[in-house]
Amino acid sequence: MKAHVMHELSVAQEIIGIVQENLPDGNTHCVKAVKLKIGKLTNILPDSLTFCFEALTKDTALDGAQLDIQHIPITLQCNGCRVVSEIEGFIFACPSCGSADIKTIAGDELQVSEIEISD
């Protein structure tokens, strides 16, 4: 449990770093929203992430910014039958032929996709 909170905390710090790097000079702007793409494989709990983000951004240019999280499902491609499947949960076999010879083609994203700034 503690390890998990640490995970979200470091992710929140990383996101804040990315946003700050992308802010216009002067840092006088307020960030309204940060859009994120988070793959299910990252195992991030959105509630914990939001909690850490809010705690870390108090009294900064990001204070009050909304985290807008877009969840990316896990997508696999089978090296055997070539079928591409979106899966729920963590089943790492091809749903079409049952082969374990698969590769992940989506679901491990952790990206800031958009930063909304108010002026």
Residues at the interface with Zn ion (CB under 5 A): 78, 80-81, 94, 96-97, 99
Give the nearest distance from C-beta 43 to Zn ion in angstroms.
25
Give the nearest distance from C-beta 99 to Zn ion in angstroms.
5
Largest CA distance in the chain: 56
Give the nearest distance from C-beta 95 to Zn ion in angstroms.
8
Rounded Cα gap, residues 10 and 74, in angstroms: 22
Q: Given the complex with Zn ion, which of 17 and 95 has the nearer CB atom?
A: 95
Distances (CA, A) of 78 to 17, 49, 91, 106, 108: 36, 32, 13, 13, 17
Q: Given the complex with Zn ion, which of 16 and 76 has the nearer CB atom?
A: 76
